[in-house]
Amino acid sequence: MSTSDKKASYDPLMPDLNSWPVVQLSRNRLDFRKQVEEEAKARIHESLQGSLRDELERALFRESIRMKEKRWSTDPKDESAFWQGIKDELIHTSKLAEANSSKEADEKALSEIVSRYAKEISGKFNISVYKFVQRLMPVGFYPLLKSPVNFNFLDNKVSAQVRKRIQFTGDIDKIRALSKDCTVVMVPTHFSNLDSVIAGWSIGTMGLPAFLYGAGQNLFGIKLFAFFMNYLGSYKVDRRKKNMLYLETLKTYSTLALSRGCHSLFFPGGRRSRSGSIETKLKLGLLGTAIDAQYRNLLLANAEAPAKKIIVVPVVINYHFVMEAPVLIDDYLKTTGKESYLIDEKDKYSSSYELFKIVFKLFTKGSEFSLSFGEPMDVFGNTVDNAGASFSHKQAPLNIRDYFVSHGELRHDRQRNTEYVRMLGEKITTSFKRENTVFSSHLVAFAAFEMLRRRFPKMDIYDLIRLSDDERVLPKQLFFDTVSVLYDAVRKMADAGTIRMAEHLLDECKGDIHKIIEHGVHNVGIYHSKKVLLLNKKGDITSEDLKLLYYYHNRLEGYSLAKYI
Amino acid sequence: MAVIGSGSFGSVIANVLAENREVLLFTRRTEVADAILLRREHNGQKMHERIRPVMDPAEIADSCNLIFPIVPSANFREMTRLFAPFLSPAHILIHGTKGMDVILPPGMTFSRKDTDMGEQIELNRSMVRTMSEVIAEETAVVRIGCLSGPNLVGEISSFQPAATVVASRFDEVIAEGQKALKSSRFKVFGTHDVIGVEFAGVLKNVMAIASGILSGLGYGDNARAMLITRGLAEMTYIGGRLGAEKSAFFGLSGLGDLIATCSSKLSRNYSVGYRLASGEKLPDILDSMTQVAEGLNTLKVTKALVDHYKIRAPITQTLYRIVYQGTTVEAGMKFLMDYPFNVDVDFL
């Protein structure tokens, strides 16, 4: 059953935090790291296309380039020296006549590299920090949700009231039930650096034990985030490191953590959506670890300890306002436009100061967001019941062991798993599309931008974002008519279950188009310095920033809605 | 392993498989089962000793992990539904059916009867399924493959050398298919482009009818070569629009099958065209045929897709007019010869 849920909070499923898998993992982190290192090395050997020496040299080369071209403040000081040491060792042993000494040296170098990566990736979990954050966060969200700024810090009532202002959609009870006997992997859409904060807080509010979270290494440059993330079980994912040794170590870390029962959270889009549209292409690497972990669980299962099921839950997070939107859309236009678009803006939202400024704005003004939880599925995209039993799309019971069986036996097949990950990715993107929640701001942004596109059919996107002030004005009656038609279309889609509608469209705006326009125009990208949409003196609609209008419009891309304009 | 379908291609594939291992052959007809068991003969082919006819779908699914469904596209979905309750994700299905299935929204109809011209509707890709898509839709099986290539039954059953392709997104399926089918006279290639291989195999049936018409008119190799090359271009355009990779059209299942079917009187689709050009009427031709010519349904479906996507496909459109709209073959030929083709190779 999928419902919109405004329950204030849920009882914790595991009140004793010491029993949480993520806490256990943190306490045994040295042993765990050792296991990661051993298994990662085995995986690396299994994946080798040429010799180990070739792979080591490739990793060395890629790391040298990274250190030269993409250095971050979070990078450890000793990394140049470390890689120089590896290089010297490899040069030295390549001169030796005995093949055995060279092989031994290669294995030693591999161990050192994998050990370094495993240490770098590992996170820890501190119960006190977790408790503090769970109580602090609602205070941060409170004004963000337009509630009066009148509260006592760390008051439980604040948490309850905040919770009431957030739209949670989906079968929360089912997710809670599943998390008891299964390992849950939450896969949210990714639009903002705030996503991880919101997802983390929501997990706590749902009464679930803390999730392991793969956080981008770049986020650790934001000191505000780094402090908490370092103690909340997040492990570091460095997207600059593309060498096979790193990727296999990272995947092994995630696979083993999942196999130990740690609920996890990945952003399968890999990075924040640049265009503002719902992700349709996913990075499948980390997602594949859910399938690897499921295989491992089946392999290790026996009559006394049956295989724990891995359950995937897609989540769509929706906002009226994405603070990084100006930088993201610039990046998107730069990538797609090449010479048509030559602006290079720095991601100023990835510093503590800028983040603080935005959070301050959120404190002093208000906005809202929603979390829509999709139907939980097994790692093959099949629906599951509350106990985690799988069913085919024809509602026939399934034994997921069958997916890994060849000639009657469980058999590991990397290529087969890769294909399963692709299939899972398709199910997740389909769920994203269905769970996307239409806000008033998305509706008006889509209507306005598509009206401009219709008015200037020969212009491409790079011309459209440079329209003059006069060219971008939309007559109010025409805009009203367009939003009306669009609203009807979206409503029909919502009735058919192909998209969701935000509660404010029906509650606050009562389906009244005037109110929806007023609400949407006011809220769309509410804290940007330039107004995404506004009314001029005549009451007509215009925009101060067409790039941002395009960004917010994109949230409804992919639904064939332009035909209604 | 098993073969579902005891038609001529199903039987010949069962014979090829039986050279390596025991094979169960599913049939719904007692007389076919008897003919295989008692006389070791069916469809004019000798049936291998290791082939055992079976009439129970559950027995097939329980005893075999590798199954080859080879039934006409008109019955494919129904057959898949019959087996679906017994199939699991542990099964591997490699089909050998070169046809399309049409699924329409309520209120729309599309006649499967080969003598009907079909309602004048446009079809889009979402209304058309390849056989691998039917399997995915109707069963819990995920490891799906397709068998396609220049595999004229008469030649294979007389032990002449041939090659085929097994397409699947799974290496495991390709490997299992190769292992099962491979013999000193049957070479099996592999590819990941399932949709490409399926559409290549399907679309060439249309060209086979056209080739039969050319032969029926008494035209020679120049005309056939013209048809094969321009037909290949047209197939590539249409297939590309339907989601196939162009490369599939230049392999065994595309060009290979096109050459074989367009040149051989053993092809059913070719004989339909040949007899049409000789002045016979379609209903009479179909009445006298014991096997299904998939090309006729494919022609109707392809024409409806071509109309919807506005694809330049003069051979398909002309053939449709000849078969279903009373255009004479001579008028059709004249239209094609006057058609403004300009560039030789513009589809790569």
Give the CATH number, domain containing residue B154. 3.40.50.720
Considering only the beta carbons, identify the residue of A392, A402, A419 that sits closest to B169: A419
State the smallest CA–CA distance between residue A288 and chain B in angstroms: 16
Q: What is the mean pLDDT of residues A460-482?
A: 94
Domain termination residue (choose one: B194, B221, B250): B194
Which of B124, B142, B174 has the highest number of chain A CBs within 10 A, making it the mutation to test binding with A?
B142
The per-residue pLDDT for B294 is 83
Average model confidence (pLDDT) for chain A? 87
Asked whether residue A424 falls in the same domain as residue A457, the answer is no
* Domain-located, residue B138: yes
* Structural contact between residues B314 and B327, judged by C-beta atoms closer than 8 angstroms: no
Asked whether residue B190 falls in the same domain as residue B106, the answer is yes
The per-residue pLDDT for A162 is 56
Q: What is the mean pLDDT of residues A345-354?
A: 57
Asked whether residue A377 falls in the same domain as residue A504, the answer is no
Asked whether residue A472 falls in the same domain as residue A402, the answer is no
* Domain-located, residue B343: no
Asked whether residue B135 falls in the same domain as residue B204, the answer is no
Model ipTM? 0.90
Asked whether residue B55 falls in the same domain as residue B186, the answer is yes
Which chain B residue lies closest to A380 (C-alpha atoms)? B142
Interface of A with B in 374-393 (CB under 8 A): 380, 392
Considering only the beta carbons, identify the residue of B139, B140, B172 that sits closest to A416: B172
* Domain-located, residue B183: yes
| CA–CA separation, A411 and A420 (whole Å) | 14
Q: Which residues of B touch A407 (CB under 8 A)?
A: 65
Whether residue A398 lies within 8 A of chain B, CB to CB, comes out as yes
* Structural contact between residues A283 and A428, judged by C-beta atoms closer than 8 angstroms: no
Asked if B171 lies within 8 A of A415 by C-beta distance, the reply is: yes
Domain termination residue (choose one: A91, A121, A151): A121
Q: Model confidence at B178, in pLDDT bands (50, 70, 90)?
A: very high
Asked whether residue B110 falls in the same domain as residue B241, the answer is no
Q: What is the pLDDT of residues A21-72, one digit of tens each?
A: 999 999 999 999 999 999 999 999 999 988 999 999 999 999 999 999 888 8
| CA–CA separation, B4 and A559 (whole Å) | 40
Whether residue B136 lies within 8 A of chain A, CB to CB, comes out as no
Angle, alpha carbons A72-A76-A81 (nearest 5°): 115
Which chain A residue lies closest to B172 (C-alpha atoms)? A416
Q: What is the pLDDT of residues B56-65, one digit of tens each?
A: 999 999 999 9
Name which of A12-16, A497-501, B67-71, B89-93 the model is least confident about: A12-16
Half-sphere exposure of A533 (CA within 13 A, CB side): 33
Closest CA to B228 of B272, B261, B259: B259
- Of A94 and A189, the structure prediction assigns the larger pLDDT to A189
Name which of A11-15, B139-143, B343-347 the model is least confident about: B343-347
* Domain-located, residue B71: yes
Asked whether residue A133 falls in the same domain as residue A204, the answer is yes
* Domain-located, residue A252: no
Asked if B85 lies within 8 A of A396 by C-beta distance, the reply is: yes
Asked whether residue A168 falls in the same domain as residue A313, the answer is yes
* Domain-located, residue A247: no
Q: What is the mean pLDDT of residues B143-169?
A: 93
Asked whether residue B202 falls in the same domain as residue B185, the answer is no
The per-residue pLDDT for A415 is 96
Torsion angle of C-alpha atoms A78, A84, A85, A89, degrees rounded to 10: 170
Interface of B with A in 32-71 (CB under 8 A): 65
Which residue type occupies B272? V
The per-residue pLDDT for A361 is 62
Q: Model confidence at A314, in pLDDT bands (50, 70, 90)?
A: very high
Q: What is the mean pLDDT of residues A209-236?
A: 77
* Structural contact between residues A350 and A297, judged by C-beta atoms closer than 8 angstroms: no
E strands present in A210-330: 212-216, 234-237, 264-265, 310-319
Domain termination residue (choose one: A88, A121, A154): A121
Tokens of A421: 């990950």
Of B179, B182, B204, B334, catalytic: B204
Asked whether residue A86 falls in the same domain as residue A101, the answer is yes
* Domain-located, residue A239: no
Asked whether residue A116 falls in the same domain as residue A140, the answer is no
Give the phi and the psi of residue B69 in degrees, each rounded to 5. -80, 125
Q: What is the mean pLDDT of residues A421-425?
A: 97
Q: Model confidence at A163, in pLDDT bands (50, 70, 90)?
A: low
Whether residue B88 lies within 8 A of chain A, CB to CB, comes out as yes
Q: What is the pLDDT of residues A223-272, one digit of tens each?
A: 766 776 776 778 888 989 999 999 999 999 999 999 999 999 989 988 89
* Domain-located, residue A182: yes
Domain termination residue (choose one: B160, B194, B228): B194
* Domain-located, residue B347: no
* Domain-located, residue A337: no
With 0-12 CB in 10 A as exposed, 13-18 as middle and 19+ as buried, what is B15? buried
Residue numbers of the domain that contains B114: 2-194
* Domain-located, residue A331: no
* Domain-located, residue B108: yes
**pLDDT of B279 over the 60 cut:** yes
The one-character DSSP state at A411 is -
* Structural contact between residues A143 and A367, judged by C-beta atoms closer than 8 angstroms: no
Average model confidence (pLDDT) for chain B? 91
Whether residue B198 lies within 8 A of chain A, CB to CB, comes out as no
Asked whether residue A496 falls in the same domain as residue A508, the answer is yes
* Domain-located, residue A332: no
Q: Which residues of A touch B143 (CB under 8 A)?
A: 416
Domain termination residue (choose one: A395, A415, A434): A434
Which of B170, B174, B193 has the highest number of chain A CBs within 10 A, making it the mutation to test binding with A?
B170
Asked whether residue B209 falls in the same domain as residue B189, the answer is no
Count of domains for chain A: 3
Largest distance between two CA atoms of chain A: 86
| Three-state DSSP state, A410 | strand
The per-residue pLDDT for A146 is 44
Whether residue A407 lies within 8 A of chain B, CB to CB, comes out as yes
Q: Model confidence at A339, in pLDDT bands (50, 70, 90)?
A: low
Residue numbers of the domain that contains A548: 437-564
Give the residue ranges of DSSP H helices in chain B.
Answer: 8-18, 30-34, 57-63, 73-83, 131-138, 153-157, 171-181, 194-216, 221-241, 257-263, 268-277, 282-287, 294-309, 314-324, 329-338
Domain termination residue (choose one: B166, B194, B222): B194
Asked whether residue B138 falls in the same domain as residue B236, the answer is no
- Quick check: is B281 catalytic? no
Asked whether residue B245 falls in the same domain as residue B98, the answer is no
Asked whether residue A40 falls in the same domain as residue A104, the answer is yes
* Domain-located, residue B89: yes
How would DSSP label each residue in A349-385?
GGSHHHHHHHHHHHHHS---EEEEEPPPEETTS-EE-
Asked whether residue B272 falls in the same domain as residue B294, the answer is yes
* Domain-located, residue B36: yes
Asked whether residue B253 falls in the same domain as residue B302, the answer is yes
The CATH number of the domain holding residue B245 is 1.10.1040.10
Which chain B residue lies closest to A423 (C-alpha atoms)? B142
Q: Model confidence at B267, in pLDDT bands (50, 70, 90)?
A: confident
- Tokens 């073959």 correspond to B329
Asked whether residue B151 falls in the same domain as residue B188, the answer is yes
Considering only the beta carbons, identify the residue of B140, B142, B143 that sits closest to A396: B140
The one-character DSSP state at A404 is G
Which chain A residue lies closest to B170 (C-alpha atoms)? A416
Asked whether residue A382 falls in the same domain as residue A278, the answer is yes
For a pLDDT cut of 90, what percent of chain A falls above it? 61
Asked whether residue A167 falls in the same domain as residue A206, the answer is yes
Which of A378, A383, A391, A406 has the highest number of chain B CBs within 10 A, making it the mutation to test binding with B?
A406
- Tokens 């008033």 correspond to A440
The per-residue pLDDT for A98 is 65
Largest distance between two CA atoms of chain B: 59
Asked whether residue B163 falls in the same domain as residue B23, the answer is yes
Count of domains for chain B: 2
Asked if A406 lies within 8 A of B172 by C-beta distance, the reply is: yes
Name which of A34-48, A127-141, A236-250, A467-481 the model is least confident about: A127-141
Closest CA to A32 of A346, A262, A230: A262
Q: Residue B334: count other Cβ atoms within 10 Å of its Cβ.
A: 12
The per-residue pLDDT for B347 is 66
Asked whether residue A165 falls in the same domain as residue A201, the answer is yes
| CA–CA separation, A422 and A425 (whole Å) | 5
Taking CA atoms, A490 is separated from A501, A515, A560, in Å, by 8, 16, 11
